[in-house]
């Protein structure tokens, strides 16, 4: 049983709330992952071969695809970031024995507030702890043409653990063109905890591959990427490519144990086409159990009105 307090607050001083969620998903049987059967080098090589960007590569060496002219529309520029370093309280994880010790070594509370990404990170770390204890773990990526009566997720056998984080805003705003960006408080600490547990991070966006050098630089400057880690950036490869296809591609090579996004379609594109919201009621149990609605990692910094500070 996992007990977690999760904030769905937006980026700036919004109310927090908490809840209790169930542990593992009762989905149809999928391949379990054995920790002694993982070939991380092969997984990394195959994901990069499919078009993902390896963020461990120097920014200037990122491949932007055949259209070098298009890349000129996305220069690598210095961005200003604010909102970083916010303190938060880690989600409470109820585990016993070696698994609890494993979690406690990696994910520590650092402050009084709750990060919007705390539940997401805690869930992924719980899966890592289960794997470390010799248990099987399951992917949270639905199989193509999923049966909503009996939903199944993609297999995990022989795959290293990873999480997916969606970079795009559901409002459709182009954060890449912003002169200044806010970054989500607590996310840097959550990412560090995931990497310490050997969990890779896969960033997804509908920005074009031509923007990869710019986005790689932004993630680096924001503190979201880290050298010598298996982190990836998966962008629009052109043609008929779409984010759902890239999500499946990532899940073919990595066991995605948690996904974060600010819109339900960030977990599966079927939500973009449902006429009846109740048509996916069988998937509701996946929210806070592998799927986590969170604020976007990066949003445009605007000159929003501030409280009245008049003297007198």
Q: Give the pLDDT score at 162.
A: 97
Most confident of 52-61, 104-113, 219-228, 255-264: 255-264
- DSSP track, 40-98: HHHHHHHHHHTT-EETTS-GGG----S-HHHHTTS-----EEESTT---BPPP----HH
Q: Among candidates 134, 136, 135, 154, which has minimal Cα distance to 144?
A: 154
β-pairing, 291-293 vs 161-166, is unpaired
Answer whether residue 262 is part of any domain: yes
Full 3-state SS string of 21-52:
CCCCCCCCCCCCCCHHHCCHHHHHHHHHHCCC
Q: Give the pLDDT score at 73.
A: 59
Please report which confidence band the pLDDT of residue 50 belongs to, taking 50, 70 and 90 as the band edges.
very high
Q: What is the DSSP letter of 211?
A: G
Answer whether residue 179 is part of any domain: yes
pLDDT in tens, 150-180: 899 999 988 999 999 999 998 877 888 888 8
Answer whether residue 29 is part of any domain: no
126-132 average pLDDT score:
91
- Return the bridge partners of 202, or none: 164, 232
Residue 220, CB-side half-sphere exposure with 13 Å CA sphere: 20
| Sign of the dihedral through C-alpha 263, 71, 60, 249 | positive
Answer whether residue 152 is part of any domain: yes
| Sign of the dihedral through C-alpha 141, 144, 147, 152 | negative
**d(Cα 47, Cα 253) in Å, to the nearest integer?**
6
211-222 average pLDDT score:
90
Answer whether residue 156 is part of any domain: yes
Q: Does residue 251 carry a pLDDT above 90?
A: yes
Please report which confidence band the pLDDT of residue 277 belongs to, taking 50, 70 and 90 as the band edges.
low
Boundaries of domain holding 207 = 35-84+139-300
Answer whether residue 52 is part of any domain: yes
The CA R_g of the chain, rounded to the nearest whole Å, is 19
Residue 302 CB contacts under 8 Å (≥ 6 apart), including other chains: none
**d(Cα 198, Cα 92) in Å, to the nearest integer?**
20
Q: What is the DSSP letter of 153?
A: B
Q: Does residue 46 carry a pLDDT above 60?
A: yes
In the chain, % of residues over pLDDT 70? 65
pTM of the model: 0.74
- Please report which residue ranges of the chain form alpha helices under DSSP H: 40-49, 68-71, 97-106, 118-132, 187-196, 212-221, 243-253
Q: What is the mean pLDDT of the chain?
A: 74
pLDDT in tens, 4-17: 333 222 222 222 22
Residue owning tokens 């990412």: 191
Answer whether residue 169 is part of any domain: yes
CATH number reported for the structural domain that contains residue 148 in this entry: 3.40.50
Please report which confidence band the pLDDT of residue 254 belongs to, taking 50, 70 and 90 as the band edges.
very high
pLDDT in tens, 64-84: 444 445 545 555 555 555 444
**d(Cα 111, Cα 6) in Å, to the nearest integer?**
14
Can you count the helices (H) and strands (E) in the chain? 7, 9
Number of domains in the chain: 1
Which pair of structure tokens corresponds to residue 79? Answer: 């961005």
Q: What is the DSSP letter of 238?
A: S
**d(Cα 38, Cα 22) in Å, to the nearest integer?**
28
Q: Are 117 and 187 spatial neighbours (Cβ–Cβ below 8 Å)?
A: yes
105-133 average pLDDT score:
76
Which pair of structure tokens corresponds to residue 77? Answer: 């520029």
Answer whether residue 269 is part of any domain: yes
Least confident range of 38-42, 84-88, 104-108, 123-127: 84-88
Q: Give the pLDDT score at 234.
A: 95
Please report which confidence band the pLDDT of residue 19 belongs to, taking 50, 70 and 90 as the band edges.
very low
């Amino acid at each position: 049983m996992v007990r977690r307090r999760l904030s769905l607050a937006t980026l700036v001083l919004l109310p927090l709330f908490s809840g209790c969620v169930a542990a593992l998903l009762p989905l149809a049987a999928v391949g379990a992952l054995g920790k002694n059967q993982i070939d991380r080098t092969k997984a990394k090589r195959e994901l990069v071969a499919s078009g993902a960007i390896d963020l461990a590569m120097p920014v200037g060496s990122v491949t932007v695809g055949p259209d070098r002219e298009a890349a000129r529309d996305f220069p690598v520029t210095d961005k200003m970031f604010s909102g970083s370093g916010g303190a938060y309280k880690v989600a409470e994880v109820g585990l016993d024995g070696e698994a609890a010790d494993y979690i406690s070594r990696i994910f520590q509370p650092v402050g009084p507030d709750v990060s919007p990404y705390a539940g997401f990170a805690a869930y992924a770390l719980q899966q890592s702890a289960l794997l470390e204890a010799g248990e099987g773990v399951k992917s949270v990526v639905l199989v193509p043409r999923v049966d909503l009566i009996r939903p199944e997720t993609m297999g995990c056998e022989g795959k290293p653990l990873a999480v997916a984080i969606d970079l795009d805003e559901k409002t459709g705003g182009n954060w890449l063109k912003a002169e200044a960006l806010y970054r989500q408080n607590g996310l840097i600490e959550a990412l560090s905890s995931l990497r310490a547990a050997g969990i890779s991070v896969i960033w997804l966006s509908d920005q074009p591959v031509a923007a990869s050098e710019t986005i790689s630089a932004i993630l680096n400057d924001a503190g979201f990427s880290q050298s010598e880690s298996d982190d990836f950036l998966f962008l629009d490869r052109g043609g008929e490519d779409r984010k759902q296809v890239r999500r499946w591609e990532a899940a073919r090579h990595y066991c995605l144990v948690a996904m974060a996004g600010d819109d339900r379609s960030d977990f599966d594109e079927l939500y973009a086409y449902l006429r009846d919201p109740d048509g996916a009621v069988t998937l509701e149990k996946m929210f806070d159990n592998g799927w986590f609605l969170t604020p976007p990692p990066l949003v445009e910094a605007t000159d929003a009105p501030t409280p009245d500070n008049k003297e007198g």
